[in-house]
Amino acid sequence: MRFPALLALFALVLMLSPLASASPELTSARVLPSTGTVGDTYTFTVHYTGESPVTVWLYVEGAAIQMDQVDASDLNSTDGKDYFVRTGLEEGTSVYYFKAVLNTGEEARTTSSVINVNGPEGFRVDHIDVVIAVLLFMIPAVWGLLIIRRLSRDLRETLELLRERKKSE
């Protein structure tokens, strides 16, 4: 008689223990857009499951940014809750990860990921072929204009000299 009662108690403890001591977990970590340029806004999101209250952080290159709840009216985080933050990023490759910290001190963390951010749009070294083509066109054009200007000035001076000679004759 004791054995079935103990077995039933053990089964009840096993069924209730995941609900009572569910470890915090972060899943579905992502950033949109996944690549971009300086000046773009990047939206980082992560899904948290676990006990409340919790603070969820985004770490980019070691700097912590507190994340906001997608739905602040959802007070039950044990069935999952989404968090987000929008921010700009500096040029280069940045390492980022998410971290949840409960008031009890318990933590959950995602693995680190990277995002590549290009410099601002505009002139880049890969447009050097256009610059060279423009310079190759502009140099002869400028020299041609200078030569024409000089010739027209010489012609004007020659015509003035001829007028003066004609008047003096």
pLDDT digits (tens, 9 = 90+) for 32-67: 999 999 999 999 999 999 988 889 999 999 999 999
Name the band, by pLDDT with cuts 50, 70 and 90, for residue 76.
confident
- Cross-strand pairs, 83: 46, 69
Tokens of 69: 């709840």
Which position has the higher pLDDT, 125 or 161?
161
Instruction: Name residues whose C-beta falls within 8 Å of residue 50's C-beta, 6 or more positions apart in sequence.
Output: 22, 23, 24, 25, 77, 78, 100, 102, 108
Tokens of 168: 């003096």
Sign of CA dihedral 78, 80, 86, 90: positive
Length of the chain: 169
Instruction: Name residues whose C-beta falls within 8 Å of residue 124's C-beta, 6 or more positions apart in sequence.
Output: none
pLDDT digits (tens, 9 = 90+) for 95-121: 999 999 998 889 999 999 999 999 876
